[in-house]
């Protein structure tokens, strides 16, 4: 990925409009019929097939964070400062990605393989969670845009594993651990949740003091114990409903409606079971507490189920978010604004000619990124929908990156990685996507094809073993919060 770039998508209606930036060269496009879209731009319906609607006017910008950044987390405070957290670093930009500085502080500056960051969208508290060995994590936080930090260790107990750490925050409810519940211990504005896996399953805890201590909680049971308790991010809705996604074959969410005191699970989309190896699914909630659950389906596309009753029931016939032309995907992430307004990012490939060709194991390739051969290239895709709750939703997809994010396979199982010119475990487990208070989308991802790999004409998997931290954000286009209309470019752009 080049250090800066622009992916420009403009609405094609009856007039011809030149495209510039990441998707095309700078020459005008001539004689394009109304129904023909440029390469890398898709407008599709619930089955991934094209629909006759003009694309949204979306402009995406990129910024090189200047550090390695596999498994990154992203968040933006109300001041506009962006926080990109990966490995032992907290990187901050307060000028829309034009420059970055390390504001980690000494408390949580550990060498770690499983960091996690979170910016509370209500209080602006910034969390940096770092593993110190396999038994203890340090949870550090800042209330002044990363200028100063305080923190405490969290000991996971005698079982020698404290892995896949996740943290989030959300409103208190009127029951359970919440205000008016049987405990009534709350004195921080938001409930703070911390989950990790042990060999026995998922363990989740609730903090009453803003993340300083986690006294309430423990092991979740049921489907949460499958596959060693591996799980995705924590999501909390405006009504206080909390979601955790276990890594299981049938898309599933684990739900709490009492700030983590009790949990139940729900399955969905059984028509599109997830492939193996598999990575995390993710849930986003909108301003009215509708929930959107996405995952990579059996045909390697990105699928979604929705809930309009705070996680009690879910659509059982899932919809395909990614275009049918994208035949392989990995690392789907999502956030939502107002009802029906969502953005999703994922790594994807359109190398359909490689389907059924021999993969790196000598078997016919079915699109699973874990087994992709050296001729497959993965790019960063961004999909928007402004009517995702409608019976016939429309999805607007852009191949946002100018060059590949990864060439060749992407390791989706840490115990079964490939060593072709170096391990393809370079991207680790996930990327991240969140919106700010204006509904502008920010994406953090690790770029595996950086520098000479991106500029070379004959780059292969052996060249694609980087993990550079890159920010992608909406330069201009529709906000996911309807009241902000169309967002303009920052003055510095």
Q: What domains can be seen in the chain, in order of their start residue?
A: 4-487 (2.120.10.10)
pLDDT at 476: 96
pLDDT at 228: 66
Once rounded to an integer, what is the mean pLDDT over residues 162-180? 86
Would you place residue 291 in the very low, low, confident or very high pLDDT band (cuts 50, 70, 90)? very high
Phi, psi of 143 (to 5 degrees): -110, 15
pLDDT in tens, 101-151: 999 988 887 666 678 999 999 999 999 998 776 667 889 999 999 999 999
Question: Whose CA is closest to 149, among 158, 141, 159, 157?
Answer: 141
* Residue where the block lists tokens 């303009």: 488
Could you tell me if 204 and 193 are in contact, meaning their C-beta atoms sit under 8 angstroms apart?
yes
Distance of alpha carbon 61 from alpha carbon 58, whole angstroms: 10
Would you place residue 483 in the very low, low, confident or very high pLDDT band (cuts 50, 70, 90)? very high
Averaged confidence pLDDT in the chain: 88
Model confidence at 290: pLDDT above 90: yes
Model confidence at 387: pLDDT above 50: yes
pLDDT in tens, 17-29: 333 333 334 444 4
Would you place residue 299 in the very low, low, confident or very high pLDDT band (cuts 50, 70, 90)? very high
Would you place residue 212 in the very low, low, confident or very high pLDDT band (cuts 50, 70, 90)? very high
Model confidence at 478: pLDDT above 90: yes
Once rounded to an integer, what is the mean pLDDT over residues 306-333? 96
Among 54-63, 356-365, 395-404, where is mean pLDDT lowest? 356-365
Could you tell me if 268 and 274 are in contact, meaning their C-beta atoms sit under 8 angstroms apart?
no
Distance of alpha carbon 306 from alpha carbon 82, whole angstroms: 29
pLDDT at 222: 75
pLDDT in tens, 178-200: 776 656 566 799 999 999 887 77
- Residues with Cβ within 8 Å of residue 284, at least 6 apart in sequence: 235, 291, 292, 294, 334, 335, 336, 342
pLDDT at 113: 63
In the chain, what percentage of residues exceed pLDDT 70?
86
CA 437 to chain centroid = 18
In the chain, what percentage of residues exceed pLDDT 90?
68
Rg (the chain; Cα; Å): 21
pLDDT at 5: 43
pTM above 0.85, yes or no: yes
Once rounded to an integer, what is the mean pLDDT over residues 254-263? 95
pLDDT at 3: 43
Question: Whose CA is closest to 6, among 336, 474, 356, 452?
Answer: 474
- Residues with Cβ within 8 Å of residue 139, at least 6 apart in sequence: 127, 128, 129, 151, 152, 153, 154, 167, 194, 211
Across 225-229, 401-405, 453-457, the highest mean pLDDT is recorded for 401-405
């Amino acid at each position: 990925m080049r250090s800066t770039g622009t992916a420009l998508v403009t609405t094609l209606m009856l007039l011809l409009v030149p495209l510039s930036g990441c998707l095309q060269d700078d020459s005008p496009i001539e004689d394009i019929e109304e129904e023909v879209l440029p390469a890398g731009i898709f407008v599709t319906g619930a089955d991934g097939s094209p629909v006759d609607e003009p694309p949204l006017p979306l402009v995406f910008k990129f910024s090189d964070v200047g550090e390695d950044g596999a498994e990154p987390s992203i968040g933006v405070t109300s001041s506009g400062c962006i926080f990109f957290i990966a490995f032992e670093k907290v990187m901050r930009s307060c000028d829309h990605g034009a420059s970055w500085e390390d504001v980690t502080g000494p408390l949580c500056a550990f060498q770690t393989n499983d960091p996690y960051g979170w910016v509370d969208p209500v209080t602006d508290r910034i969390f940096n969670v770092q593993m110190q060995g396999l038994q203890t994590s340090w949870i550090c936080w800042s209330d002044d845009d990363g200028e100063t930090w305080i923190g405490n260790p969290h000991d996971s107990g005698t079982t020698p594993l404290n892995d896949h750490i996740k943290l989030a925050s959300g409103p208190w409810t009127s029951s359970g651990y919440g205000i008016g519940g049987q405990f009534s211990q709350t004195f921080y504005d938001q409930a703070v949740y911390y989950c990790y896996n042990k060999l026995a399953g998922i363990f989740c805890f609730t903090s009453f003091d803003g993340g300083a201590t986690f006294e309430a909680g423990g092991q979740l049971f049921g489907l949460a114990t499958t596959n060693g308790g591996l799980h995705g991010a924590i999501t909390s809705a405006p009504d206080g409903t909390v979601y955790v996604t276990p890594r299981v074959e049938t898309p599933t969410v684990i739900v709490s409606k009492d700030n983590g005191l009790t949990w139940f699970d729900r399955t969905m989309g059984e028509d599109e079971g997830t492939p193996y190896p598999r990575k995390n699914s993710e849930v986003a909630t909108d301003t009215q507490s509708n929930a959107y659950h996405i995952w990579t389906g059996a045909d390697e596309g990105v699928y979604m189920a929705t809930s309009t009753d705070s996680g009690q029931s879910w659509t059982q016939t899932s919809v395909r978010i990614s275009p049918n032309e994208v035949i392989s995907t990995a690392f789907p992430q999502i956030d939502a604004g107002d009802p029906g307004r969502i953005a999703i990012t994922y790594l994807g490939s359109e190398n359909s000619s490689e389907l059924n060709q021999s993969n790196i194991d000598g078997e016919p390739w079915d699109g699973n990124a874990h087994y992709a051969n050296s001729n497959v290239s993965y790019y960063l895709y961004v999909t928007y929908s402004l009517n995702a709750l409608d019976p016939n939703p429309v999805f607007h997809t852009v191949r946002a990156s100018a060059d590949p994010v990864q060439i060749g396979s992407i390791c989706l199982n840490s115990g079964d990685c490939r060593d072709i010119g170096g391990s393809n475990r370079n991207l680790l487990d996930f990327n991240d996507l969140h919106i700010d208070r204006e509904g502008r989308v920010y994406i953090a991802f690790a770029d595996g094809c950086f520098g000479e790999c991106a500029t070379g004409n004959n780059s292969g998997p052996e060249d694609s073993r980087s993990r550079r931290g890159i920010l992608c954000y909406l330069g201009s286009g529709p906000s996911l919060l309807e009241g902000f209309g169309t967002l303009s470019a920052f003055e510095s752009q």
